[in-house]
């Protein structure tokens, strides 16, 4: 990247991570409209959870190949291809006429969106300096939160006027608009000089597998509130879809963005005081895991406003944990293998979510939310115990 592009690297990265916002807007449209989709197709919560599994299995399977492709053919060509595919899958969801076609569309969406987070990791390591990576992930987390915040508001607004199918068509179209914008602003593919990791391939390094295991545990609270928040308000407090989305479901994603930025900034401050980057990430993850214990208190909330407040605390902590966790592979393996290393976390998250989605649905149908929120409260701390084994090479 040339000197002028380097000066504007945060602007360039901001435009790129809009693709992440679109990614999560497309996938969260189903979560935002879940009661309507369930009603039309006659799905119980276990069956709705299976739709998450259908998305997650191809998401997990494709991610490592997507990471290799991104590292090989470059950021702009790979993200343009992926975004085209997932945009058409989202649009097709609005045209479904049966459960079978809905399942196919969710599977295709999962396969195409598997490239999104590895591409974001590649962009972060390309356009930021080593000490800025957690802040870059904080920006990407803000984009995740933006997509999640817009999904209930935008999807509900469109649904009330033109029906739920139109919401999928509209959100899918946004991705097709982003592609020419990015291609116009993207600098020539000559990355900013960064350190390059030496040694064995990422998949042969035990440190990567420790981060992967921690990510699998952290997937439970992340999946819970990023996939079931609207459902929680509708089911527990008997709100209609418009009230749940317009007044409550959009609030936790705002706090997720705040938590991501704060924890990215915190690890940058710890690193500037002399701690190795991976150690700084771990310390912030541990603090976030302690705050995430608040998730266990959600079932005690007596009103939707109080529930939104407690969920917001938990999701903010989980987002901050995620920002630093996803920065670790970049610290460990460098720019040349960034997308491939990140893809292992994406793949693990997909596998975990495939199990978690149906598990949450089954538990909700039989026992309510309390067992899930209790387990989700403690898994980040267990993940931190695993992360203690990860050490950066000096």
DSSP string over 155-190: HHHHHHHH-HHHHHHHHHHHHHHHHHHHHHHPPPS-
Residue 365 pLDDT: 85
Give the separation between CA 159 and CA 33, rounded to whole angstroms: 8
CATH of domain 3-187+199-387: 1.20.1250.20
Q: Using alpha carbons, list the distances in angstroms from residue 141 to 131, 163, 318.
A: 17, 30, 11
Residue 173 pLDDT: 94
Instruction: Render each residue's pLDDT in the chain as its tens digit; 394 residues.
Output: 545 556 778 889 999 999 999 998 988 898 888 888 888 888 888 888 888 889 988 998 999 899 889 988 889 999 999 999 999 999 999 998 888 899 999 999 999 999 998 999 889 888 887 767 777 877 887 888 888 888 888 998 999 999 999 999 999 999 999 999 999 988 765 544 444 444 557 777 888 899 999 999 988 898 888 778 888 999 999 999 889 988 998 899 889 889 988 998 898 888 888 888 889 989 999 999 999 999 999 999 999 999 999 999 999 999 999 989 988 887 887 766 778 888 888 888 888 877 887 888 889 888 989 999 999 999 999 999 999 888 654 4
Length of the chain: 394
Instruction: List, in order, residues 6 or more apart from 272 with CB less than 8 Å away.
Output: 131
Per the confidence metrics, is the pTM higher than 0.85? no
- Residue whose pair of structure tokens reads 């945009």 in the numeric block: 87
What is the C-alpha end-to-end distance of the chain, expressed in Å?
27
Residue 191 pLDDT: 45
Give the separation between CA 62 and CA 379, rounded to whole angstroms: 26
Residue 246 pLDDT: 86
Give the separation between CA 342 and CA 327, rounded to whole angstroms: 9
Residue 200 pLDDT: 59
Task: Kindly state the DSSP code that residue 194 receives in the 8-state scheme.
Answer: -
């Amino acid at each position: 990247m040339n000197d002028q592009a380097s000066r504007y690297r945060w602007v360039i990265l901001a435009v790129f991570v809009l693709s992440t916002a679109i990614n999560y807007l497309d996938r969260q449209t189903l979560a935002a409209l879940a009661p309507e989709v369930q009603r039309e197709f006659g799905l119980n919560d276990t069956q709705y959870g299976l739709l998450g599994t259908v998305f997650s299995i191809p998401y997990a399977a494709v991610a490592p190949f997507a990471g290799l492709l991104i590292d090989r053919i470059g950021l702009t060509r790979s993200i343009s291809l992926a975004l085209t595919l997932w945009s058409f899958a989202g649009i097709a969801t609005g045209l479904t006429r049966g459960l079978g076609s809905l399942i196919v569309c969710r599977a295709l969406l999962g396969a195409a969106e598997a490239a999104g987070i590895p591409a974001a990791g590649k962009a972060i390591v390309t356009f930021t300096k080593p000490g800025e990576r957690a802040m870059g992930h904080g920006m990407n987390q803000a984009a995740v939160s933006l997509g999640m915040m817009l999904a209930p508001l935008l999807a509900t607004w469109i649904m009330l006027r033109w029906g739920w199918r139109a919401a999928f068509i509209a959100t899918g179209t946004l991705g097709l608009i982003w592609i020419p914008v990015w291609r116009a602003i993207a600098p020539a593919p000559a990355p900013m000089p960064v350190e390059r990791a030496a040694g064995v391939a990422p998949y042969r390094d035990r440190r990567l597998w420790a981060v992967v295991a921690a990510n699998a545990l952290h997937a439970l609270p992340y999946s819970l509130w990023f996939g079931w928040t609207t459902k929680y308000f509708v089911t527990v407090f008997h709100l209609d879809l418009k009230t749940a989305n317009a007044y409550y479901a959009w609030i936790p994603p705002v706090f997720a963005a705040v938590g991501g930025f704060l924890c990215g900034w915190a690890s940058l401050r710890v690193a500037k005081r002399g701690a190795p980057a991976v150690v700084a990430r771990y310390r912030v993850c541990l603090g976030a895991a302690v705050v995430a214990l608040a998730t266990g208190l959600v079932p005690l909330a007596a009103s939707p406003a109080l529930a939104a407040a407690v969920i917001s605390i938990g999701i903010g902590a989980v987002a901050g944990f995620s920002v630093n966790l996803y920065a670790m592979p970049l610290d460990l393996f460098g720019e040349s293998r960034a997308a491939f290393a990140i893809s292992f976390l994406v793949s693990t998250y997909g596998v975990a979510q495939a199990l978690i989605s149906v598990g949450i649905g089954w538990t909700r149908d039989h026992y309510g939310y309390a067992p899930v929120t209790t387990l989700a409260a403690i898994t980040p701390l267990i993940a931190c115990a695993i992360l203690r084994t990860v050490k950066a090479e000096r």
